[in-house]
Amino acid sequence: MINDVTLSYLIFILPLLSFVVNGLFLCRKSDKAAAAMGISANGIAAISAIILAVHYFTSGLAPQKAILFEHEFIPFGNFLANIGCLIDPLSIMMLVVVTFISFMVNIYSVGYMRGDRATGRFFALLSLFSFSMLGLVAATNLFQMFIFWELVGVSSYLLIGFWYHKPSAVSASKQAFILTRFADSFFLLGIVLVSYVVQSFDFATLNDLTLSSFKAETIDLGLLVVSKADALILGSVLIFTGGWGKSAMFPMHIWLPNAMEGPTPVSSIIHSATMVVAGVYLVARLFPFFAICGSTLTLIMIVGAFTMVFAAVIACTQKDIKRILAYSTLSQLGYMMFALGVCQVGQTIVTTGWTASTFHIFTHAFFKCSLFLIAGSLIHQVHTNDLDAMGGLRKKMPWTYWCTLISILAISGIPPFSGFFSKDEIILAAFQGHHYVVFGLALLTSGLTTFYMFRLFFLAFHGEPRHEGVKAGHVHEDFAMTLPIVILAIPALLSGIAGKSLFAAFFVPGKIHAPQLVKLAEASWIPFAAVAIAIIALALAWFFYASPKARIAKALDESNRSGIYKTVYHKFYFDEMYYAVVRQFVIGGVARVARFIEDYIVGTLVNFSVWFIHKLGDLVRVAQGGYLPFYLGTLIVGVLLWRFLGNLPL
């Protein structure tokens, strides 16, 4: 009765059921019933996913691929678009992550959304999101992936704009939706192109291609005629563009920090742990296909590595706790993305980066989800996102404090916490691929990561309270909110150690039709270097923001940089140099350049195109003056226009 197939049906149907029941019946009746429905449906789905995973990995099936169920959806000529459930180590891992995180976030939301006027709708939408995300990760073909890809986009849109009485939330949700849709239109084009050339949507077929068989035939793309092999390479870039937008890589990253306007549980599940890794997942899923497509992987590496550094630098300057985490997510997504890219070494392929990237998806989901939930907890207590108003929360929120420490140590890559293992493998993969620039940047960014995360940690929990409510002792921990944080701290601590051997044994991207790099460089010193850098960064953060001598007010105050202070305190002249270097150069210089690029170049381009389209719209509107002779004139003009432009051989 209970076999893999029924379990997989359960995983999909329960969140959908919860969405339908909550959306149609419970959302108006009772918030409690809606919450119970959401938690129980997602909880059973999570348990089913875990049982499925345990069975898959212990029964000797792994790492084979299997399709648990598949139904015909639409026939397109001689090939079919199906809806099904694909099982392999990667999708099983994602199924577990998505259902488990969704379960945790559902519990958390009971506390976070208490007293909100539309709690029922919130739970319905959360379940819709889980369902869509599950459909995405279990997709057996590109078409199914695209459908659910759009569905997660829609649910993300609805959830970012959940508090639609806030204008900022509405504009953020619109921006996120339209920007990702913009990227998705390239994705769709890529699907049409690739499926037309290959005559299939199936991942199995796509991942089993060799370009050489397509070199001879040509295809007419309308503007130019290219060989089918080149068309496939173009298709791979177009498909990656979809992931580029969804995973918010530079310069399409701007929607993610703004999306923080949504409720924090939403940021935690959609914009850190699951949906934004869809882009990485897409590349990982189609990895053998990308591997044969020339230098697409190099493009992926460059985009990923740049986003990683860029976002980490910006994160050092932010004061809004959720935005720090958003930029941190961007930076970590950059890690995962470039780890896939570094697999290409000249003409050869090395798969260590793939394993490292999927491993990082796994560990990152837990600690980053946990960090967002913690941020939500803090915001819930002090009613602000601003680090200025926090501080001194250690005593009031002890559980949260220790869980935060675990997650932050994990993201900083300090052993034995989970992030250490996956990040170390990514850095090693960059080294093995002889991509030394990216390798250096990755090491540097891991230092930056530690710095900004501990900056957040010290400013929020240590020092004197800077908030009236905290001083007056109104702060407490909410059970429903603290429970998931504590539960998530366990995988944040252990998933690295536990996962290492599992990933090494089973996580390989499948058969690749490209020469493999045989001799791998070993570098046992890398973990030590990475940890050393992390510890130096940690010390710096402590020095600036937590040491007894640290001047937190000054560190937070951006306007006060007066010289008198320095002359009085000669003792700190050395510090001032640090301040100068860190503040003036890193934050003031590099960050300003990054900020400039963000505000002016990206912003101007976006604004210009919006302005231009609107001007054209005005033109069309003005032409519609209601003047009949003009209208009749357009008929004549039209005939002449198409006579000359219509390419008719007249």
Partner 1 sequence: MNYIVPDILLLIFPFIVIGSRLFCSTKSNIPWRIANVGCIAIFILLNFIPLANGNGVFFLSNWRVDDFGILMREVLMVSAILGIWLSKDYFEHSADGRPQLHQIAEFIGAIAFATFGGVVVVSACDLVTFFLGLEIATIPMYALTAWNKKDLIGSEAATKYILMGSVATAFELFGFSYLYGFAGSLHFTDIQSAVAAGPSPLLWIAVLFLFCGIGFKLTLFPFYTWAPDVYEGAPTPVTAVLSVSSKATAIAFLVVLVFGPLAPIQEQIAPLIALLAGTTLFVGNLGALKQSRLRRFMAYSSIAQAGYIMIALLGPATIAETAIIYYLFVYAVSNYLAFFVFAIIGHHREEIFASLKGLSKQNPSIAIALAISMFSLAGIPPLAGFFGKFHLFFSGASTGHYAIVAFAVLNNVIALYYYIQLIKSAWVDEPDGHLTPIRLTRRQRSVVILLSIAVVVLGFLPFLSNNIFSGFTF
Task: Note the residues at the interface with partner 1 (CB under 8 A).
Answer: 72-78, 146-147, 150-151, 154, 161, 164-165, 170, 174, 177-178, 181-182, 185, 188-189, 192-193, 196, 219-223, 613-614, 616-621, 623-624, 626, 628, 630-632, 634-635, 637-639, 641-643, 645-650
Q: How far is the CB of 296 from partner 1 (least distance, A)?
A: 19
CA–CA gap between residue 505 and residue 486 (Å, rounded): 29
* CB closer to partner 1, 24 vs 580: 24
What are the residue ranges of helices labelled H in 81-166?
A: 89-112, 119-137, 142-160
* CB closer to partner 1, 1 vs 640: 640
Residue pointed to by tokens 């560190």: 555
* CB closer to partner 1, 564 vs 645: 645
Q: How far is the CB of 84 from partner 1 (least distance, A)?
A: 15
* CB closer to partner 1, 39 vs 183: 183
Q: Which helix (H) or strand (E) holds 432?
A: helix 418-432
* CB closer to partner 1, 177 vs 401: 177
Q: How far is the CB of 197 from partner 1 (least distance, A)?
A: 11
Q: What share of the chain is helix, strand, coil (3-state, %, to 5)?
A: 75, 5, 20
CA–CA gap between residue 504 and residue 428 (Å, rounded): 14
* CB closer to partner 1, 182 vs 585: 182
CA–CA gap between residue 332 and residue 312 (Å, rounded): 9
* CB closer to partner 1, 608 vs 631: 631
Q: How far is the CB of 220 from partner 1 (least distance, A)?
A: 4
**What is the phi-psi region of residue 386: left when phi exceeds 0, alpha when psi lies from -120 to 50, beta otherwise?**
beta
Q: How far is the CB of 85 from partner 1 (least distance, A)?
A: 17
Q: How far is the CB of 253 from partner 1 (least distance, A)?
A: 18
Q: How far is the CB of 162 from partner 1 (least distance, A)?
A: 11
Contact status, residue 140 vs residue 84, Cβ threshold 8 Å: yes
Contact status, residue 27 vs residue 124, Cβ threshold 8 Å: yes
Taking Cα atoms as reference points, which of 63, 56, 62, 22 lies closest to residue 39? 22
CA–CA gap between residue 345 and residue 1 (Å, rounded): 48
Orientation of helix 119-137 relative to helix 4-21, angle to 10°: 150
Structure tokens at 226: 């290219």
Residue type at position 78? N
What is the chain's length?
Answer: 650
Q: How far is the CB of 149 from partner 1 (least distance, A)?
A: 8
For residue 534, how many C-alpha atoms fall within 13 Å in the half-sphere facing its CB?
24
Q: What secondary structure letter does DSSP report for 286?
A: T
Neighbours of 643 (CB within 10 A): 10
Q: How far is the CB of 583 from partner 1 (least distance, A)?
A: 41
Query: In sequence order, what are the residues at sequence separation of 6 or more whose Cβ sits closer than 8 angstroms to the Cβ of residue 413?
Result: 419, 420, 423, 424, 446, 449, 450, 530, 531, 534
CA–CA gap between residue 261 and residue 259 (Å, rounded): 5
Contact status, residue 4 vs residue 68, Cβ threshold 8 Å: yes
* CB closer to partner 1, 490 vs 639: 639
* CB closer to partner 1, 532 vs 639: 639
* CB closer to partner 1, 190 vs 341: 190
Q: How far is the CB of 648 from partner 1 (least distance, A)?
A: 5
Orientation of helix 31-58 relative to helix 4-21, angle to 10°: 160
CA–CA gap between residue 442 and residue 437 (Å, rounded): 9
**End-to-end CA gap in the chain:** 72
Structure tokens at 174: 């619109």
* CB closer to partner 1, 216 vs 650: 650
Q: How far is the CB of 610 from partner 1 (least distance, A)?
A: 9
Structure tokens at 549: 């001598």
Q: How far is the CB of 227 from partner 1 (least distance, A)?
A: 14
Q: How far is the CB of 621 from partner 1 (least distance, A)?
A: 6
Structure tokens at 525: 């010193």
Rounded to 5 degrees, what are φ and ψ at 165?
A: -80, -10
* CB closer to partner 1, 216 vs 620: 620
* CB closer to partner 1, 187 vs 281: 187
Contact status, residue 67 vs residue 139, Cβ threshold 8 Å: no
CA–CA gap between residue 473 and residue 375 (Å, rounded): 19
Structure tokens at 262: 């949504």
* CB closer to partner 1, 1 vs 650: 650
Compute CA distances 496 → 47, 291, 423, 430, whole Å: 21, 27, 10, 19
* CB closer to partner 1, 189 vs 497: 189
Instruction: Report whether the peptide linkage leading into residue 465 is cis, meaning its omega lies within 30 degrees of zero.
Output: no
Instruction: Concatenate the DSSP letters of all residues of 195-248 into one string.
Output: HHHHS--BHHHHTT--GGGGSS-EEE-SS-EEEHHHHHHHHHHHHHHHHHHHTT
Q: How far is the CB of 69 from partner 1 (least distance, A)?
A: 16
Q: How far is the CB of 180 from partner 1 (least distance, A)?
A: 10
Q: How far is the CB of 61 from partner 1 (least distance, A)?
A: 31
* CB closer to partner 1, 132 vs 307: 132
User: Is residue 73 helix, strand or coil?
Assistant: strand
